[in-house]
Structure 1
Amino acid sequence: MNEIFKRRSIRKYQSKPVEKEKINELLHAAMAAPSAGNEQPWHYIVIDDRNILNNIANTHPHAAMLKEAPVAILVCADLTKEKYEGFWVQDLSASTQNILLEAVSLGLGTVWVGVYPNENRVNEIVKIFGLPSNIIPFSIVAVGYPDEYKDEADRYDEDRVHYNKW
């Protein structure tokens, strides 16, 4: 539970680069996510090119933090891997969350930047990366050493819990 409560959206980063070993650990965590029928419909693009990060920040209305982040991970769906149509959204959500939680354990800060299902955002990311038609960009995770700190958050609300019926 420690990583779950410590995970917060971090949008300010130190200029310190993130070690390749830590990026590799994030990717291992991402690919450990559950998926419908074990289809594992994911691909990842690690982005550490400052020009590309800035380009995304300039085209995506909620990605300004990429101008500071030393690295980001683009999480994509491969529709040719789909066994159960449409469930890739859940699969990639779990994969993205795994990245966020593993980052906490590594002392990194992250924020989930949504791409899918916004058609304009999807199209911009497809253009920037030259993605083939079977690859759908789902999310971008900004990654870096945090330059802001937020208190842990326990958002439990008993009023939202129901047993056996509404």
Structure 2
Amino acid sequence: MKTSTVLIVILALAVVALVARLFFFSKSTSSAASAVMENLMTRTSIRAYQDRPVEDEKVEQLLRAAMAAPTAGNRQPWKFVVIKDKQTLKAISGHFNTMKMAEHAPLAIVVCGDMDNTYPADGRDYWVEDTSAATENLLLAAHALGLGAVWCGIYPMQERVAYLKDLLGLPENIVPLNVVPVGYPAENPKPKDKWKPANIHYEKWNGGDSAVR
């Protein structure tokens, strides 16, 4: 076989291999995107948990996901308190009518803002947005890991803030945003369909009319 023919064959094989690789990469990327969207659209609040501990490795994954969230000026003004103590969980459950599930959860994560590490000046309250982004990441990660969780608000209700700061011994500069009970689900509620085209506008408000296309 002539050298030129060999080169043509090799080149043809390389092209085939490249096309196949691109095809499978595209398919893999599409599959990954579908998995992400599925996780987003099927996550829902879970308030009943199995009597089963959550592995430390998964707790760390939740916290890593939370800390991957964006923050204003990359200040990362968050702190997290992981609670496994049954008496503390029972105290939270007993004090807050909206957090009865905490007593039966294997753990809860309190997402807090560090007032000594916020965006400066008028941007100080960006800590609420930053820690909220972290919380959403945590909730989505929990769902992806086969866990269930629910966002229970603390801030800005000052009585709730004061009680939790005292219960957990939080420093003055640390403000709890929420409590997130976490565990293996003992229920399977159907996710709510929250898609409302009327809430969307393009370019301008257009007199309040929906501008969905």
Return the TM-score normalized by structure 1: 0.97
Aligned residue in 2 for 1:21: 57
- Displacement of 1:152 in angstroms is 3.4
Q: Does 1:145 align with 2:184?
A: yes
Query: Partners in 1 of 2:141 and 2:74 — Cα distance?
Result: 21
Residue 67 of structure 2 is aligned to residue 31 of structure 1: yes
Return the match for 2:88 from 40, 52, 55: 52
- Bigger CA radius of gyration: 2
Partner of 1:97: 136
Residues in 1 aligned to 2:152 and 2:191: alpha-carbon distance in whole angstroms: 20
Aligned equivalents of 2:111 and 2:196: distance in 1?
30
Q: Distance in 1 between matches of 2:158 and 2:62?
A: 27
* 43-52 or 154-163, which deviates more: 154-163
2-side partners of 1:58 and 1:34: how far apart?
Answer: 34
2:107 aligned partner, one-letter code: V
Match in the other structure for 2:168: 129
The higher-RCO structure (CA 8 Å, 6+ apart) is: 1
Match of 2:166, SS state, is helix
Structure 1 residue 61 corresponds to structure 2 residue 100: no
CA RMSD of the aligned region, Å? Answer: 0.8
SS at match of 1:107: coil
Residues 37-65 of structure 1 deviation map (CA, whole Å, 9 limit, x = unaligned): 00000010100000000001111221100
Deviations 1:62-102 (A, max 9, x none): 11000111100000110111123110000011000000000
AA aligned to 1:45 is: V
Please give the TM-score of this superposition, normalised by the length of structure 2.
Answer: 0.76
Which residue is equivalent to 2:151? 112
Report how many residues are paired: 166
- Considering fraction of residues, name the structure with more strand: 1
Structure 2 CA distance for aligned equivalents of residues 154 and 62 of structure 1: 23
Uncovered stretches (5+) of structure 2, i.e. residues with no partner: 1-36, 206-213
CA distance in 2, matches of 1:71, 1:130: 18
Give the CA deviation at 1:154. Answer: 3.4
Cα offset, 1:150, TM superposition: 1.6
Which amino acid is the alignment partner of residue 141 of structure 1?
V
Matching residue's letter, 2:204: K
Q: Provide the C-alpha distance between the structure 2 equivalents of 1:130 and 1:152, rounded to a whole number of angstroms.
A: 36
- 4+ residue segments displaced more than 4 Å: none
Quick check: 148-157 or 136-145, which moved more?
148-157
